[in-house]
Amino acid sequence: MTMTTTQPGPALIDELGEELDALRQRVVDDLGAVDADYIRKVIAVQRLCEVSGRVLLFAGWFPPAWLGGVAALSVSKILDNMEIGHNVLHGQYDWMKDPALNSQTFEWDMVCPSGQWRRSHNFMHHTYTNILDKDRDVGYGILRITEDQPWHPYYLGNPVYAAAQALFFEYGIMLHDLEADRIVQGERGWADVRPLLGPMLRKVAGQAGKDYLLYPALTGPLAPLTLAANVSANLVRNLWAFSIIFCGHFPDGAEVFTEEQAEDESRGGWYLRQMVGSANISGSPVFHLMSGNLSHQIEHHLFPDLPSRRYPQIAGEVRAICEKYGLPYNTGSLSKQLGSVVRKIFRLALPGKNS
């Protein structure tokens, strides 16, 4: 439902903004060699996993080698998308002045062109986070994810749409910028979507050609097994990314907002919206790495351009700030958060508020 948390008064909201600005500046002032070494080490591990996976698939006739290849490729793709691609494209490492880590030129191992993702995600989502009819990540144009979305018989298929989105998540992200629901409603025409199609088709051709033609062909008679391995690795990556992202945005307690509530919003008000509209996932350091540190979604929404390795370091301070201003700090295990998301998807398939 739309925001129910009791908000601090305007003066306290401004104070909240000043505290969080100061926290961000302290981190910015401390950025340096440790952060640069970290992302380069992650990239090295990601590349090692990819090479290992490809090598193992040359022995794919041996089941342990095939399974090892799938596992290594899955880890490679998850790291590439979550801890490397997502975070580099947010500009988290632009300060390094490394052309290989430049947010404006970086390309990742998925079918969504990075330039289109930067617009739909970096700008639209992170500016208008959880504002109904502004943030298109609320339901992704296909799901009913809050009671404030009017019910329609179409939403009876909510669980089916969510399952399809999980299985083909990279393609859902690619198509996101088309705003297909607005095309169906006649609000968006050919002239709006035509410039997007060329980059999409080229990226799909490149990714599909690499994963489903080139690499299988290189393994000769083992091509069918390599193809199956690549399909499996992409599927694992899609299911993992879907789970992490949905747990950070849509579990119980994550609030949504109307455009009126966000009108004339101060810096402190924007921070407040990020805090109560997001949720964290508890876990081990390896879990946080594999989630791209989006397990710290609250910290990420507050500071999307800070290197993600800093989120666990500042999480305690952010939580203390939430407690100071009487704001919730929504966190829980993966099973708890994912379970609440699944229940919500099923529940909101049926008529409810504003239906």
Task: Tell me the per-residue pLDDT of 277-312, one tens digit each, with 9 for 90 and over.
Answer: 999 999 999 999 999 999 999 999 999 999 999 999
Task: Indicate whether 91 belongs to any domain.
Answer: no
Residues 219 and 57: beta-carbon distance below 8 Å: yes
Domain membership of residue 254 as a residue range: 10-31+110-347
Average pLDDT over residues 195-214: 95
Coil, helix or strand at residue 174: helix
Task: Indicate whether 61 belongs to any domain.
Answer: no
* Other Cβ atoms within 10 Å of 252 Cβ, number: 14
Residues 281 and 299: beta-carbon distance below 8 Å: no
Task: Tell me the per-residue pLDDT of 69-105, one tens digit each, with 9 for 90 and over.
Answer: 999 999 999 999 999 999 999 999 999 999 999 999 9
Task: Indicate whether 281 belongs to any domain.
Answer: yes
- In three state form, how does the secondary structure of 37-54 look? HHHHHHHHHHHHHHHHHH
Task: Indicate whether 220 belongs to any domain.
Answer: yes
Q: Are strands 331-332 and 280-281 parallel, antiparallel or unpaired?
A: parallel
Task: Indicate whether 56 belongs to any domain.
Answer: no
161 backbone φψ class: left, alpha, beta (φ>0; ψ -120 to 50): alpha
Task: Indicate whether 180 belongs to any domain.
Answer: yes
- The angle subtended at Cα 120 by Cα 118 and Cα 125, nearest 5°, is 105
Q: How far apart are CA 165 and CA 11, in angstroms?
A: 42
Band (1; pLDDT cuts 50, 70, 90): very low
Q: Which of 86-90, 256-260, 317-321 has the lowest mean pLDDT?
A: 256-260
* Average pLDDT over all residues of the chain: 94
User: Which residues lie across from 281 on neighbouring strands?
Assistant: 332
Residue with tokens 């490729």: 73
Task: Indicate whether 293 belongs to any domain.
Answer: yes
Task: Indicate whether 300 belongs to any domain.
Answer: yes
Per the structure, how many domains does the chain have? 1
Q: How far apart are CA 126 and CA 170, in angstroms?
A: 19
Residues 7 and 272: beta-carbon distance below 8 Å: yes
Q: What type of residue is 68?
A: G
